[in-house]
Structure 1
Amino acid sequence: MGIDQRLAVIVHGGAGWVMWVLIGLSVIAVSIILERTVSLMASRDDVRSMKEDLLAYLAQGDPTGAIERLEGSSSVEARVLIAGLGCADKGPAAAEERMASTSQLAKLSMEKNLSFLATVGSNAPFVGLLGTVIGIIRAFQALDAAHGQVSSHLMAEVGEALIATAMGLLVALPAIAFYNLFTRIIGSRLARADALGREVLAYMKTER
């Protein structure tokens, strides 16, 4: 089958299949949004209280107590601090590397499937535009078949073309919005983990 024949088949099929593609993308995107929301909410903690408790334990020279306090938290900040305090006997350099490694692994875990959201947000409008192009081509074909007379079939094709564009935007906008929101949350958590990690390193350097 030549290229012209393949294009003819695509156009003949109408923009309906484009709608189904967009619906499928939206379902997957919503699933990812809900999963990431639940995951990020489950791993949040009161960082201010955590910092106060951490500094209190370190001021008393009790890193073991600090670790026990942090083990009660499921937050990223706690995991990073535990990694650093767990190798306090090996020196600040080793603790810093361990915390950096834990932070990177946590980042990868929190960013799970976010690239799909970014891809949907960036490309869904173009998928909708493809449906619009197909609808316009079919509208011209209907206009030609009607010898230039406006018919209900022509209006249906034009309406389908416009709906494809609108649907592409409706799929893209939430995906981009939640991608930006999740990225901001992840960045903030990693920044807080880094700031608390500096407190741990400062304690270790003072002790040594």
Structure 2
Amino acid sequence: MFESSLGIAHFLTQADTAARVILIAMLLASLASWGIIVDRLVAHWLQRRRQVVFLARFRRVRAFEELGAVLSAGAEDACARLARLAIESARHFSAHGEAGGRQEFLVRALRQGIEEEAERLERGLTLLASVGSTAPFVGLLGTVWGIYHALIAIGLSGQGTLDKVAGPVGEALIMTAIGLAVAIPAVLGYNALTRRNRVVLGRLDALGHDLLTLALTGAPLRRGAAEAPARIARAV
């Protein structure tokens, strides 16, 4: 029975410095991508659970002054940080601002808070997008480099038969496969996290409107209050 020594292990032992550098770079990119994906998915899962608890308590608030008690009882999450910002901004304006610009001041403060949460949510997404878009080309570069050296070796040996060409060229194609294996999880993770970020920012925008209404009118907005926690639990 014919046994071939060609394969991934043989390719790695025969790879030169440039090929090994490309392989190490793709390995590091893959580890970084998976680390970001797992970290952000776990963070989203924890945040969703905390937000359900916080919003369930928030819907029971009847006055802006009661909001502080909800914060002391709830866990730290994006909604709690936004509510705390609303309380601090309202207190600051009451102490130093003018009555006519209270609404504009609170709107700007809440908008800034939501933008800061968006920056937190987008942490790592740039790296995922970069890996997803460049890894296939890096793998292709490794393939071209491997084929180039394989053809040179075949030319020097003077044995240009099909069996001598197909093996080294096939080994070089491993680099393209590795590039795709690195890029595909990064792209899928980026799309999944982007969607989850949009859902979270939508919740924060709705909460910011409710906080503004509570701060300006002294009474909560009762629209859809009873169904809100269940709706949020099903959102993701």
3-state SS, counterpart of residue 86 of structure 1: helix
Q: 1:148 and 2:152 equivalent?
A: no
Residues in 2 aligned to 1:40 and 1:12: alpha-carbon distance in whole angstroms: 42
Residues in 1 aligned to 2:20 and 2:49: alpha-carbon distance in whole angstroms: 46
Q: What's the offset of the Cα at 1:172?
A: 0.4
Counterpart amino acid of residue 31 in structure 1: G
Q: What is the aligned partner in structure 1 of residue 47 from structure 2?
A: 43
Q: 1:189 and 2:193 equivalent?
A: no
Q: What's the offset of the Cα at 1:28?
A: 1.9
Match of 2:128 among 93, 117, 128: 117
CA displacement, residues 20-63 of structure 1 (integer Å, 9 cap, x when unaligned): 22112112222222322333333333645644532431xx32x2
Residues in 2 aligned to 1:88 and 1:12: alpha-carbon distance in whole angstroms: 64
3-state SS, counterpart of residue 34 of structure 1: helix
What's the TM-score once normalised by structure 1's chain length? Answer: 0.80
CA displacement, residues 96-141 of structure 1 (integer Å, 9 cap, x when unaligned): 2221112222222222222111111110001001011112222322
Q: Which aligned pairs between 1:134-145 and structure 2 lie closer than 5 A?
A: 134-145=145-156
Gaps of 5+ in 1: 1-10
3-state SS, counterpart of residue 112 of structure 1: coil
Counterpart amino acid of residue 149 in structure 1: T
Counterpart amino acid of residue 41 in structure 2: T
Aligned length, in residue pairs: 194
In structure 2, relative to structure 1, the CA distance for the partners of 1:42 and 1:55 (3 Å cut) is closer
Residues in 1 aligned to 2:41 and 2:59: alpha-carbon distance in whole angstroms: 30
State the Cα RMSD in Å.
2.5
Contact conserved, 1:12 with 1:138, CA < 8 A, in 2?
no
Gaps of 5+ in 2: 1-14, 94-101, 220-236
Q: What is the aligned partner in structure 2 of residue 96 from structure 1?
A: 107
In structure 2, relative to structure 1, the CA distance for the partners of 1:207 and 1:39 (3 Å cut) is closer
Q: What's the offset of the Cα at 1:156?
A: 3.7
Contact conserved, 1:124 with 1:172, CA < 8 A, in 2?
yes
Q: 1:33 and 2:34 equivalent?
A: no
Q: What is the aligned partner in structure 1 of residue 214 from structure 2?
A: 203
Contact conserved, 1:77 with 1:190, CA < 8 A, in 2?
no
Counterpart amino acid of residue 70 in structure 1: L
Counterpart amino acid of residue 66 in structure 1: L
What's the TM-score once normalised by structure 2's chain length? Answer: 0.71
CA displacement, residues 78-97 of structure 1 (integer Å, 9 cap, x when unaligned): 21122113333533322222
Residues in 2 aligned to 1:65 and 1:127: alpha-carbon distance in whole angstroms: 56
Residues in 2 aligned to 1:12 and 1:179: alpha-carbon distance in whole angstroms: 33
Contact conserved, 1:84 with 1:98, CA < 8 A, in 2?
yes
3-state SS, counterpart of residue 44 of structure 1: helix
Match of 1:81 among 80, 83, 104: 83
Q: What's the offset of the Cα at 1:195?
A: 0.5
In structure 2, relative to structure 1, the CA distance for the partners of 1:48 and 1:33 (3 Å cut) is closer
Q: 1:68 and 2:79 equivalent?
A: no
> Larger deviation: 66-75 or 161-170?
66-75
Match of 1:24 among 21, 28, 48: 28
> Larger deviation: 95-104 or 48-57?
48-57
Contact conserved, 1:133 with 1:161, CA < 8 A, in 2?
yes
Counterpart amino acid of residue 27 in structure 1: L
